[in-house]
Amino acid sequence: MLKSQNLLKGDIKTSIAKMAMPLMGIAFIQMAYSLVDLIWIGRLSTDAVAAVGTAGFFMWMANAITLIIKTGMSVELAQAYGRGDEEEIEKITIGGLQLNFLLWAILTSLFIFGRKYIYGYFHLEKEVFKLALDYHLIISIGLVFTFLLPFFSSHFYSQGNSATPFKTSIIALIFNIIMDPILIFGVGPIKPMGIKGAALATILAQALAVCIYIYIGFKYREAYMKYNYFKKIEFQNAKEIFKLGIAPCGQSLIHNLVSIKLNKYIAVYGTVGIATYAIGSQIESISWMSAEGFATAFTTFFGQNYGAKNYERLEKGKWVCIKLILAIGIIATAVLMLGSKSLFKIFTPNDPRVIQEGTIYLLILGSTTILMSQEIGVSGMLNGLGLTRYPAIVSAIFNVMRVPLAFFLMKVFELKGIWISMSASQALKGIFMLGIITYIQKKTKGFRNNMERYIKKR
């Protein structure tokens, strides 16, 4: 078995930082998958960018479903590792993979056979509609790899090992960067595939990452390669994983549905609005994906120490986590606001209208990035304790609030009104999440008293 970070002992800040830095790198790599596609697709046409942006909502839906496994398994396994319960670790892993394949089969069927109906909702221009369907079909066929990746990575995260997923992601990204222009524009005997090539490059990169995890499992005799997944159905463990993961999944799905509704509002302003949102949301992900990298480390830290009943260490860890995520928020704010215009020029160098609107987008969203990072960081802490419903409820309420707020503000500020509604909601989420963890800390007297009783009640 590969070496993991010990989160039960030693300096808290150092332990979390060592695990979080590769996780933050993974977050940038995940963002880079989409950005690499957009950089090359932007050279094809604005229609192609709009098509990928629209397809991105359904890829978001797929990633939301994978959160059931990623969150549920990470929390369950982290607490089991904290307790040192090997038998439970085996049951959780088997139940997790069985549930994973069930979810994959359902979503893939929906995406392939219902693709024309779900894209018809957007009333896209004819060319954008065709390009979006082409991209969507290939991505849907490769969803099996999208679902397998969080299963493997959760195994390592829950032990405090973020280096292995980081190295695996780096290799897959390099492969994607190389294959993107080759498949999109063609080279030698390989004919140009356009937007289909971008989708294929992404799927092949994910397939490579899965193969690497399987190789590592065999070479280092990782636990997930030892179990018999067909011996029996671990219904109880699959159920527990589902219960823990469904709240974050629902949170992400609601966010996705809200974004789809907002995209309909944005579409009123034409291709410029759609392209601005497609690119802007990817650039903005610099901030929230970095924060999520740290939040995953927080989940493992809180999960292991809760499982080991290290309640005093949880109290100390809370303040360390808040300070770390605050630093991330400050850095991300500086990048988004100071580099707003330059960042958009990378993706649409020949479209001044998108550059102008994109600059405004990043300035507005960047103004509340610090509070957004706090929301994500606190969510990671609560997820580690098994309190996944709190972050989900707060996120759902304020994400839904974006729709009526955007509807009224766009009448006054046009596109800017939609950006303002998004920024305001992420600020409110951050404020409420800080309030929730402060309340829990007070009720449990600094995480020291009646922790298990309090959490079980919820």
Instruction: Please check whether residue 3 lies inside any domain of the structure.
Output: no
DSSP one-letter string for 424-456: HHHHHHHHHHHHHHHHHHHHTTTTTSSHHHHHH
Asked if residue 1 belongs to a domain, the reply is no
pLDDT 10s digits, 41-83: 878 887 888 888 778 778 888 999 999 999 999 999 999 988 8
pLDDT tens digits along 300-311: 999 999 888 888
Express each pLDDT in 346-402 by its tens digit.
877 777 888 888 889 999 999 999 999 999 999 999 999 888 889 999 999 999 999
DSSP class per residue in 285-320:
HHHHHHHHHHHHHHHHHHHHHHHTT-HHHHHHHHHH
5 part of a folded domain: no
What would the pLDDT profile of 151-163 be if each residue is shown by its tens digit? 999 999 898 888 8
Predicted confidence at residue 403, as pLDDT, reads: 95
Instruction: Tell me, rounded to whole angstroms, the distance of Cα 429 from its chain centroid.
Output: 17
Quick check: is 227 in a domain?
yes
Minimum mean pLDDT range among 125-129, 263-267, 351-355, 450-454: 450-454
Task: Check the CA dihedral 162-164-166-169 and report its sign.
Answer: negative
Alpha-carbon 105 to chain mean position: 21
Cα 420 to chain centroid, rounded: 23
Domain that holds residue 356: 12-457
Q: Examine residue 442 and state whether it is found in any structural domain, yes or no.
A: yes
Does 445 score more than 60 pLDDT? yes
pLDDT tens string 190-236: 888 988 998 999 899 999 999 999 999 999 888 888 888 888 888 89
CA distances from 48 to 38, 59, 257, 454 (A): 9, 16, 22, 51
Q: What is the DSSP string of 321-388?
A: HHHHHHHHHHHHHHHHHHSHHHHHHHH-TT-HHHHHHHHHHHHHHHTTHHHHHHHHHHHHHHHHTT-T
User: How many domains, the chain?
Assistant: 1
Looking at per-residue confidence, does 457 or 69 come out higher? 69
Tell me whether residue 6 is in a domain. Answer: no
pLDDT tens profile 110-140: 999 988 888 887 777 788 888 888 899 999 9
Structural domain contains residue 329: yes
